[in-house]
Chain A
Amino acid sequence: MQNLTPVFALVAREVKRFQKIWLDTVVSPIMSMILFLAVFGVVSGGRDVAGIPYLAFVYMGLLTMTMVNASFSNPAFALVIAKNVGTFMDLQITPVPPWGVGLAYAFAASIRGIITLLIALLATVWFIPISGVANPLLLIVSVVLIGVAFGMLGVIFGMYAKNFEALTFVMTFIIQPMIFLAGTFYSIKQLPGIWPTVSLFNPMHHAVNLVRYSVTGYADSAPMVSLAVMAVFAVAIFIPMQWITTRNLKAS
């Protein structure tokens, strides 16, 4: 059986790394979320979506967004920094296999995403009209799955990008549109024409849908379909992650 110590050590190293810069990695996204909530709290004016107070509805979207951003940016920025300061060589010379490097960064990203989510939750839940969690088990499974999947996406772009400009481009033109067009701030049922159908092809929609359903019991689309889509997304994204990691660790 393969010795997994190198993979676990890399996970631990990455967790330690983001703990060292917790102001950037954990506090900043929570501040953004608090500001979003303040704005939405003021403008929602007591409206609701399908019987759920709008603030509670958007809260689930914001929590998911905060977690996805944290999970994606953790490996993406860590790898670009590693390339720039030279620590990428640590990954190349140590016997951590390419799949192990990719998954270690993705799991560490997932841990950062979950920690960020929990702290954000503790900091803000007191002001949100939510009575409890409708489906705790599904919430746990969903959160882990979403963290790992978007962590792997972060690994892909971190391996691909040579500098921070490239990553900022990806965040602005890929991740942010995915978040804003996912039903984070609205129900996709409110969208006109084919757009509700188009949204179903956005994995971010299924991430938000799963978290929202797990907590409030409300879903824009079938939650089990969302779970299946996230699972397929995670498995499918492993393949390009493995390819690009292998290519980066050992150049031809």
Chain B
Amino acid sequence: MDALSVSHVSKTYRQKKKGAVPLQALDDVSLTVKPGEIHGLLGPNGAGKSTLISLIAGIIRADQGKIEVFGVDVEKETEKAKVLEGIVPQEGVYEMAFTVREVLYYFSGMYGVPIAERNPRIDKALEDLALSDKADERARGLSGGMKRRLMIAKALIHKPKLLILDEPTAGVDVALRQKIWELVRRLRDEGTTILFTTHYLEEAEQLCDRITLINHGRIIKEGNLKEIQKEFSKNVISFELFDRNVPHLPNVTPEGSEFHYPMKELEADMQAIASHYNGNLKSVRSEAASLEQIFLTLTKD
């Protein structure tokens, strides 16, 4: 059984403005997340990531298609599916007047955690997220990083089987990002399935077992990151030039200080590059395509 199964889901938003064209946020989207994996959902702004997360969380209704979390239909058995999910939204969401402990106490109750179990779970979550000394402070007084950790504690307090993180490291410092990565890996090792969206492709490369690339509401690539990289790395030769302003071979694209050449056959193409650029060639290599290169290639309009 898949941890998450999204099958042929479409979603169009009607526009309030009269005569405005409806916005198709998702178009026949299907993806699966296997139990125990870290799955990255990547895409540019407006690609449909947040809509997909909202559908999985049961916050909005799909126009068509089916979403199942560990075999539970999100549309038909919404409450049952929600118990299986833990959501970390992009923005901090908590009662301003409550202390950290109170936020977690009532939130865990809303997930059905019995009263007797709440405080031990809160203590554990606060310890895991290095917030124990802030337990009795008001949530609104926490620093940005602590608020982000509180949001993660909220999502974990009922021990979800599927943890959904919507850009969990956006705007956090490097040290906290590393801690969040550590936590995500540990949760995966303990058996929690993780779906997260991110803008940081390096983060996806570091963490994800599998990724899904989404653009304009459609899935454009899904699979094992290493396999995708392998697929794309066959096709790229990267080189640097002493003088960049020279006539280029067809299909050469600049990226930073480098140029990329779509490769068909390594030896012949290397020779073509060497003879075309001759003494102007500073370095040349064939390497695994970075996720950034793959992302840019696939999302190029």
Contact = CB atoms under 8 A, between A and B. Distances in A.
Contact of A90 (B93, B97, B114): B93
Contacts of A6: 109-112
Interface string B87-129: 1010111111110001000111111111000000000000000
A5 B112 contact: yes
Main secondary structure of the interface of A (DSSP, over half): helix
Contacts of B89: 86, 89, 93
B98 A95 contact: no
A16 B58 contact: no
Contacts of B109: 5-6, 8-10, 12-13
A168 to B, nearest CB: 21
B112 A92 contact: no
A3 B158 CA distance: 15
Contacts of A87: 93-95
A244 B113 CA distance: 27
B57 interface: yes
Interface string B212-223: 000000000000
A11 to B, nearest CB: 10
A251 B95 contact: no
Nearest to A86: B93
B183 interface: no
Given A93-B58, A250-B61, A85 B110 contact: no
Given A93-B59, A95-B83, A20 B98 contact: yes
Given A6-B110, A94-B107, A13 B95 contact: yes
Contacts of B96: 85
A41 interface: no
B110 A94 contact: yes
Interface stretch (B74-82, B188-196, B259-267): B74-82
Contacts of B113: 5
Contacts of B93: 85-87, 89-90
B59 A21 contact: no
A10 B112 contact: no
B60 interface: yes
Nearest to A94: B110
A27 B92 CA distance: 31
Interface in A1-37: 3, 5-6, 8-10, 12-13, 16-17, 20-21
A210 interface: no
Interface of B: 57-61, 78-80, 82-83, 85, 87, 89, 91-98, 102, 106-114
21 contacts: A3-B112, A5-B109, A5-B113, A5-B114, A8-B109, A10-B106, A10-B110, A13-B95, A13-B106, A20-B97, A21-B97, A86-B89, A86-B92, A86-B93, A87-B94, A90-B93, A94-B107, A95-B80, A95-B83, A250-B78, A252-B61
